[in-house]
Chain A
């Protein structure tokens, strides 16, 4: 089983839509979790950490289900500027990246 697995997309949504990304992980990537954002040909940038109780940062909500080894990211009221690749990342002594889910927000 891949350490961190994501649906690659692409997700094409209209502005204002709510979009959800999912991610599963294996035991080797299971200490902590993050969502990163990567714009085309740029470096990954930390979007938010994922806490066991779930956490929210503005329009972004992250959830963790340890029993199912499942992580999610919800983006509400999506903006054109949200278009990017969203990387689900685990920590197992180093960052362990999923392959990313591409999001395209259209006018």
Chain B
């Protein structure tokens, strides 16, 4: 069964450093998303991406965040200057309008656990 993959599974970084989280969505999917989950809190939407541009972003997704689809398979989330409060699990998801549930049926990757010290 096709799946979304994410690397790395864990990342520890110093405050102020840049991190890049990587995702490989399911190959025929066209919609891509990043969510985050701070420990003990709910899953929160960060950004959606379609047709090589951001379709929607949340208040959390400020200027320190950016997303990119550098090639036909990868989808990345960059955090330019990490803060302590960026420590969280970051989930990538993808979906395809052609699925029975359409865009709403999202498949999640296993997540990257980011710890900012």
A-side interface residues toward B, CB under 8 Å?
Answer: 32, 34, 38, 41-46, 49, 87, 91, 93-100
Contact = CB atoms under 8 A, between A and B. Distances in A.
A91 B104 contact: yes
Contact of A44 (B41, B43, B104, B105): B43
A84 to B, nearest CB: 14
A25 B99 CA distance: 25
Contact of B41 (A41, A95, A99): A99
Contacts of A95: 33, 35, 43, 45, 93, 104, 106
B18 interface: no
Nearest to B89: A41
Contacts of A42: 110-111
B56 A94 contact: yes
A34 B43 CA distance: 14
Contacts of B109: 43
Contacts, number: 44
A98 B41 CA distance: 9
Interface in B96-111: 101, 104-106, 108-111
Interface residues of B, number: 21
A78 B91 CA distance: 28
B108 A94 contact: no
Given A93-B48, A95-B93, 19 more contacts: A38-B43, A41-B89, A42-B111, A43-B91, A43-B108, A43-B111, A44-B43, A45-B108, A46-B105, A87-B42, A87-B43, A91-B104, A94-B33, A95-B33, A95-B106, A96-B45, A97-B43, A98-B42, A99-B42
Residue of A49, A91, A94 with most chain B CB atoms under a 10 A cut-off: A94
Nearest to B58: A94
B44 interface: yes
Residue of B42, B110, B113 with most chain A CB atoms under a 10 A cut-off: B42
Nearest to B105: A46
Contacts of A49: 101
